[in-house]
Amino acid sequence: MSYDYDLLVIGAGSGGIATARRAAEYGAKVAVIEYDRLGGTCVNRGCIPKKLMVYASHFPGLMAEAVGYGWGKVESKLDWPQMVEKVHGETVRLNGIYQRMLDNSKVEVITGVGSFVDSHTVAVGDKKYTGERILIAVGGEPIKPAVLGIEHALTSDEIFNLPTQPKKLVVLGGGYIGSEFASIFNGLGSEVTQLIRSDLILRGFDQELREEVQAGMINHGINIRHSIELLAIERVAEGVLVKIKTGDSIETLEANALALSALGRKPRIDKLGLENTQVTVQNGAIAVDEYNCTSEKHIYAVGDCLDRIELTPVAINEGRAFADTVFGNKPRLMSYTNIPTAIFTHPEAATVGLTEAEAKEQYGEDAIKVYRSKFRPMYYVLPDKQEKTLMKLVVEIATDKVLGAHMVGDHAAEIIQGVAIAVKMGATKANFDATVGIHPSSAEEFVTMR
């Protein structure tokens, strides 16, 4: 049977674009279907705009700290519309780069919402396209709970486009997205209250890392309220009223905006027409094998529409592994062990490998040794600020192998990226000890812990 394309990709996010271009390099005829701007969540509503706003949120602290080094005091005010415009401008620039990359790879872009008609055919509007193989890379979307007035809450998709800065912001949820937005808006000057359902933010991360980040955020002025249940949201002239329950107590918080930024995300598959295929859905996500193949042998899926790790580099690597295997005749699997990640809160955190609790559960409590260092970086001595850095190594005693590395503090992501290479290679604590540190730096603590 003849098909319109060798590969038809639904979704032009990071995973979809990376796959399309890699498959085209091998000579495949490829088209990508996308209803929104190119680049997906990461470029348009996630990693990129978020990190730019993280940078913006650091300047008040930098200007205050400069006084400790002899610089005159700076009085400055954020121009919110200008910042939003500049952030938006960068995402538009990246959209253009993605378009040029696809053009140069001779990948066709089909604009619209793609939905399966059958296992080889995807409809976009009133047109139909066929693919010998089809890749689903539709990403995810924020979860909105069934709460009265939920339509008045912002998700991480909308929060980047606020026309004015909220003086008071309530952030619901203690995941990394909500914690990052709480830190960003606090740094930009908003009064932030973060509501979490448990005692600590960042569930799933190392316990000490969680404690240190939460303590640091509180120290920076974020009001973190724990053991909270959201009851209702009401729109009023000045913003929203947020009705919450703590134990047996019910109260109402006033805010200019409520951000439902950390209640998680779910695969965006509801309108994909999967019922017209044999693709299996499990726990709300597309089920795939180790080669990212669904229960239809010619339909594959990568990225946040799976029940795996929701990270841009993971989606890209999954897609390229699929293209190498299917179109390049270079079979390879995506490895999900020792994937580093960062949380761009203030203080920043980053991690790779097993947490202390995971290591003890897998190897036994007596089989693990933990090395840690907690200190005030030299940078904060002259400004006399009580900022702390935590570094931690989790080591298996029998093999001396470093199973996990965790950090809270300035430049944690940049430092852990390098440490992750060593952990991925199976480095031992002796290897770390034998490495000469760069002095004076915070990073040298990773090779001097005893």
- pLDDT value of residue 263: 64
- For domain 150-262, the CATH architecture is 3-Layer(bba) Sandwich (3.50)
Give the number of C-alpha atoms closer than 13 A to the C-alpha of residue 368, restricted to the C-beta side.
19
For the chain, what are the domain ranges?
Answer: 5-142+266-326, 150-262, 347-447
φ, ψ at 409 (rounded to 5°): 145, 180
Q: Which CATH number fits domain 5-142+266-326: 3.30.930.10, 3.40.50.2300, 3.50.50.60, 3.20.20.30?
A: 3.50.50.60
- pLDDT value of residue 259: 78
C-alpha separations of 387 from 207, 209, 449 in Å: 19, 14, 20
Give Cβ neighbours of residue 258 (< 8 Å, ≥ 6 apart).
152, 153, 154, 169, 170, 171, 172, 233, 240, 242
Sign of torsion over alpha carbons 365, 347, 418, 315: positive
Amino acid at 40: G
Residue 426 region, left (φ>0) first, then alpha (ψ -120 to 50), else beta?
Answer: left
Closest residue by Cα to residue 245 from 144, 142, 147: 147
- pLDDT value of residue 261: 54
- pLDDT value of residue 218: 98
φ, ψ at 117 (rounded to 5°): -95, -40
Rounded Cα gap, residues 439 and 272, in angstroms:
54
- Please work out, in degrees rounded to the nearest 5, the angle formed at the alpha carbon of residue 317 by the alpha carbons of 315 and 318: 65
Pairing mode of beta strands 285-286, 281-282: antiparallel
CATH class of the domain comprising 347-447? alpha beta
φ, ψ at 301 (rounded to 5°): -150, 145
- pLDDT value of residue 262: 52
- pLDDT value of residue 445: 98
pLDDT in tens, the chain (450 residues): 899 999 999 999 999 999 999 999 999 999 999 999 999 999 999 999 999 999 999 999 999 999 999 999 999 999 999 999 999 999 999 999 999 999 999 999 999 999 999 999 999 999 999 999 999 999 999 888 888 999 999 887 788 889 999 999 999 999 999 999 999 999 999 999 999 999 999 999 999 999 999 999 999 999 999 999 999 999 999 999 999 999 999 999 999 988 765 567 899 999 999 999 999 999 999 999 999 999 999 999 999 999 999 999 999 999 999 999 999 999 999 999 999 999 999 999 999 999 999 999 999 999 999 999 999 999 999 999 999 999 999 999 999 999 999 999 999 999 999 999 999 999 999 999 999 999 999 999 999 999
C-alpha separations of 83 from 46, 185, 245 in Å: 16, 13, 35
Please identify which residue in the block is written with the tokens 């019922």: 275
Rounded Cα gap, residues 116 and 441, in angstroms:
54
Name the residues annotated as catalytic: 439
Sign of torsion over alpha carbons 252, 256, 260, 261: negative
For residues 383-406, b (16+ Cβ closer than 10 Å) or e, as one string? eeeebbbbbbbbbbeeeebbbbbb
Both structure tokens of 208: 């000490």
Please identify which residue in the block is written with the tokens 């097993």: 354
Rounded Cα gap, residues 333 and 325, in angstroms:
8
Same fold, 5-142+266-326 and 150-262: yes
